[in-house]
Structure 1
Amino acid sequence: MRKMRTPLGCVRCCCCCFLLLLPPPLWLSLAAAKQLLRYRLAEEGPADIRIGNVASDLGIVTGSGEVTFSLESGSDYLKIDNMTGELSTTERRIDREKLPQCQMIFDENECFLDFEVSVIGPSQSWVDLFEGRVIILDINDNTPTFPSPVLTLTVEENRPVGTLYLLPTATDRDFGRNGIERYELLQE
């Protein structure tokens, strides 16, 4: 019985042959092109905080000065070292609650800064563009506020312990475990 070659088998064979004809940095780059770089960073940190190394996360060897990195978008808050691929924050402080894209988001994983990095090979023999995302983590940096700085609550002395009273709603720009969980009156 004779085995027949399927068109799909031919396509696979042609793709492999095509990749083998390309210089190694290019086909390695093509294989990683679908990769989305992901990092996490707490808000309100000081300037020049290291976020991660794009080169090492993409498996690109640096050091000879032949590969360069350039931040194409996301540069208001982020910067990249063009020789090492080190991604860090700029002088501009990142306040999660002030980022326009994070104003009405209540899920910690939803607030992020997107960026794009171009990687240029030796003697500009190849160029590739990678997308990345820095998730901005919420910290407890906002104090809950009531509509009025002074609240007056009348409590009758013959009410049983544990009686519930309605208070005006406080707001907190933080959320989740950093937001308001409950109100409690403490005895002084």
Structure 2
Amino acid sequence: MKFALIDDHQMVREGFKALIEEEDPDWQVTFEASSYNECLHNIDDVDCCVIDISLPDRNGLEVAQLIGEKLPCAKRIILSMYEEKSYIQRALDLSVDAYLSKRDAADELITAIHAIAKNQLFLSPSINTHFLKPQKTDSVLDKLTPRELEIFKLLAQGFNAKQVSQVIDIMPKTAHVHRASIMNKLNLTSQIQVTKLALEKGVILIDEIG
């Protein structure tokens, strides 16, 4: 089995690499990265990815989503210091294979790998089991088109309409029109309300707010 380690701390990667390669002679770490950007351009042909949720350029769940699109057969393990419902729910919505509390990861990583190799979902024992049942997307956000949902997330992160236009390469006037439509559909009147709703629905995580 070939592994990818995505963590911005080299010592952490070295520790997990030692754990993995000592467990089984057929297990080998073949790819390491410290950021989303490195994964975007370089990751290829691995069976299991161990992903830290906190990366310098993007959230680790965005890396998990990227890998799910590029390597749909690869298993994905999230390592996180966060045990709040919104983080875990978002990971489950992405169909990750394991979510480990970072404080327990050194003890649980190998157990998790064996579990997901059998197509079993693995969550750290410290995580409440009611997270095992993914919730449906709230109907209030179903009012938004895919483009509006993309812009809603950027607005919630703190981008203004002009910045949104630059990020997704649309005209500033178009971004303002989308913003007005979003605010109207969701009955929102301020940036704070946008961010609060996005956090409540798990669209963004607290460390994604600029």
TM-score by length of 2: 0.21
Question: Whose Rg is larger?
Answer: 1
Which has the larger share of helix?
Answer: 2
Larger RCO (CA under 8 A, 6+ residues apart):
1
